[in-house]
């Protein structure tokens, strides 16, 4: 069912204004109609009192000689009686005579049984009472007692009163309807004008929501114009602008901190490359010593060389991330992604012979534009991640496809999966699914962050879907144009 309720503040305020005005108009209209109806009815009662029961008495005495009988007719005395005057005589609650004054004379009326009951029910209290006859319509009746104990009823039609009241209702409806329409339009325009500062605040907030606030230096749009601070709208605009000021200060400080951190990482990585290479070189040189070395010394030198190699790789990764953070452009050349996948899988088979490696490639080569060396690093990191974090015998499938607009590379394994609490930050730096500190499995937590950074630098995206028994990394890259 469609929801017809207004959703905007402007519509609610306008609707509330119109509803309040409609209730006020209805109250005024009802009061005016009731007052007019009561006034006209009272006037009708006064006319009944002034007319007395002359016409009803003439019905009682019809057929008998009367003075000035030439002013009446054979049915009753119609002198000074308005057209439509009703007269009736009741004896023992039974209607014996009933007639109505017409312009041509007096006309007897045949009342229905229901009309006779209603007529007999009119109290003799000297006050007017409204009765609706089936044959005559609405009448205002006044009942009095005759000289011989009968009841004489005189009435005047309510049709003029009802017509006047209906006319007032029609005129009031037209006038109030026009007033409501005009008030609705004027109210909508007034509310719209009054809420313009809020619309500007909303527009500014929309522009802020479209800014890339997650990283980098951000220039916030101009502040929303402030109106009278004594009003609620002005207070909202002022509070919003103060909030934007705090956000801008926080973003500026965060960007400065990130820049300092990037600079430190780049400088530290660059400075570490030489001593790390020197340590590794000395360790390898010592291992080449022609003389005999104690086994403990040989093992220590081998560990120094291995850890130096690992540290050198980590330094290279940090330098790469620093360059990507600095926005340094990568090489942009056609890259045969199919051949790259074949080469990377060949290397993976050589280092991970305990796993089952499978390929799913299209018939035609898939080509993308990018840096071949960095894309090879993406594949190598994904395959190394699958090898290190799954047990021997795990099947790893590398698939490649394209739809003409996107090249899709998937690395899927049926291993134990990545813990659910780790998945949201798996592409962040120094995040490790296996928190072991062993070099064989722990790693530095930079491999997947490099994958995400390199893919993003190529204008692509990488996603993860993981559950026990199924883990898939999907890399999407724009193909060569």
**Spans of all domains in the chain:** 1-51+159-194, 53-157, 207-328, 333-477
**Per-residue pLDDT tens listing for the chain (481 residues):** 555 566 677 778 888 888 888 898 899 989 999 999 999 999 988 888 887 777 877 776 654 444 444 344 444 455 567 888 888 888 888 888 888 888 777 778 888 889 899 889 999 888 889 999 887 889 999 988 887 778 889 999 989 898 999 999 999 899 988 988 898 888 888 887 877 777 777 777 777 766 666 666 666 667 666 666 676 667 777 777 777 777 777 777 777 766 676 666 666 666 666 777 787 787 777 777 777 778 888 888 788 888 887 777 777 777 777 777 766 777 888 989 999 999 999 988 988 888 999 999 888 888 888 889 889 989 998 999 899 889 999 999 999 998 878 899 999 999 999 888 888 888 887 776 655 444 454 456 778 888 888 888 888 999 999 999 999 999 999 876 5
> Tell me, what's the pLDDT at 75?
44
> Tell me, what's the pLDDT at 444?
61
> Tell me, what's the pLDDT at 269?
63
Contact 141, 155 (CB under 8 A): yes
CATH for the 333-477 domain, from 3.90.1150.10, 3.30.565.10, 3.30.2000.20, 1.20.1250.20? 3.30.565.10
User: What are the tokens at 424?
Assistant: 């949201």
Domain 53-157 matches domain 207-328 at the CATH topology level: no
Q: Measured between alpha carbons, how far is 435 from 380 in angstroms, rounded to an integer?
A: 21
- Taking every pair of Cα atoms in the chain, the longest distance, rounded to a whole number of angstroms, is 169
Q: Specify whether the backbone of 155 is left (phi greater than 0), alpha (psi in -120 to 50) or beta.
A: beta
> Tell me, what's the pLDDT at 432?
66
Classify residue 406 as exposed, middle or buried by CB count within 10 Å of its CB (0-12, 13-18, 19+): middle
> Tell me, what's the pLDDT at 258?
67
Q: Measured between alpha carbons, how far is 301 from 287 in angstroms, rounded to an integer?
A: 7
Which SS3 state, helix, strand or coil, does residue 434 take?
coil
Q: Which CATH number is associated with domain 207-328?
A: 1.10.287.130
Q: What is the tens place of the pLDDT at every residue in 131-144?
A: 998 878 899 999 88
pTM of the predicted protein model: 0.48
Name the CATH architecture for the domain at 53-157.
2-Layer Sandwich (3.30)
Total number of residues shown for the chain: 481
> Tell me, what's the pLDDT at 374?
86
């Amino acid at each position: 069912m469609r929801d017809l309720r207004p959703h905007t503040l402007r519509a609610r305020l306008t609707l509330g204004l119109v509803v309040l005005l409609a209730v006020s108009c209805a109250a005024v209209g009802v009061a005016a109609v009731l007052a007019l109806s009561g006034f006209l009815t009272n006037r009708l009662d006064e006319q009944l009192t002034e007319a007395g029961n002359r016409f009803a008495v003439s019905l009682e005495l019809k057929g008998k000689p009367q003075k000035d009988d030439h002013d009446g007719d054979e049915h009753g005395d119609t002198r000074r009686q308005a057209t439509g005057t009703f007269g009736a005589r009741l004896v023992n609650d039974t209607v014996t005579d009933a007639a109505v004054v017409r312009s041509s004379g007096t006309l007897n009326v045949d009342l229905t049984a229901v009309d006779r009951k209603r007529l007999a029910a009119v109290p003799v209290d000297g006050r007017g009472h409204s009765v609706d006859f089936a044959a005559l319509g609405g009448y205002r009746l006044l009942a009095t007692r005759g000289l011989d104990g009968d009841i004489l009823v005189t009435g005047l039609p309510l049709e003029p009163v009802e017509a006047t009241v209906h006319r007032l209702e029609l005129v009031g409806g037209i006038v109030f309807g026009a007033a409501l329409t005009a008030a609705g339009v004027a109210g909508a325009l007034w509310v719209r004008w009054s809420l313009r500062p809020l619309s500007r605040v909303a527009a500014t907030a929309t522009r802020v929501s479209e800014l890339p606030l997650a990283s980098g230096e951000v220039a916030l749009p101009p502040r929303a114009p402030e109106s009278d601070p004594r009003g609620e709208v002005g207070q909202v605009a002022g509070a919003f602008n103060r909030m934007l000021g705090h956000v801008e200060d926080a973003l500026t400080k965060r960007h400065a901190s990130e820049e300092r951190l990037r600079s430190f990482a780049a400088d530290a990585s660059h400075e570490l490359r030489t001593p790390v290479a020197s340590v590794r070189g000395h360790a390898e040189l010592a291992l080449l010593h022609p003389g005999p070395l104690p086994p403990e010394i040989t093992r220590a030198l081998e560990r120094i060389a291995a850890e130096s190699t690992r540290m050198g790789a980590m330094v290279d990764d940090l330098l790469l991330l620093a360059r990507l953070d600095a926005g340094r452009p990568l090489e942009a050349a056609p890259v045969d992604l199919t051949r790259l996948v074949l080469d990377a899988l060949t290397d993976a088979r050589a280092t991970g012979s305990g796993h089952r490696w499978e390929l799913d490639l299209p018939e035609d080569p898939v080509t993308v534009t990018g840096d071949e060396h960095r894309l090879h690093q993406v594949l190598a990191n994904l395959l190394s991640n699958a090898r290190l974090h799954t047990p021997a015998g795990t099947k790893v499938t590398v698939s490649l496809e394209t739809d003409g607009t996107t090249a899709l590379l998937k690395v899927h394994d049926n291993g134990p999966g990545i813990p659910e609490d780790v998945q949201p930050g798996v592409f962040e730096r120094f995040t490790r699914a296996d928190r072991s500190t062993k070099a064989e499995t722990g790693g530095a937590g930079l491999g997947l962050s490099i994958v995400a950074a390199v893919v993003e630098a190529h204008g692509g995206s990488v996603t993860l879907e993981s559950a026990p028994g199924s883990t898939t990394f999907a890399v999407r890259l724009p193909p060569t144009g």
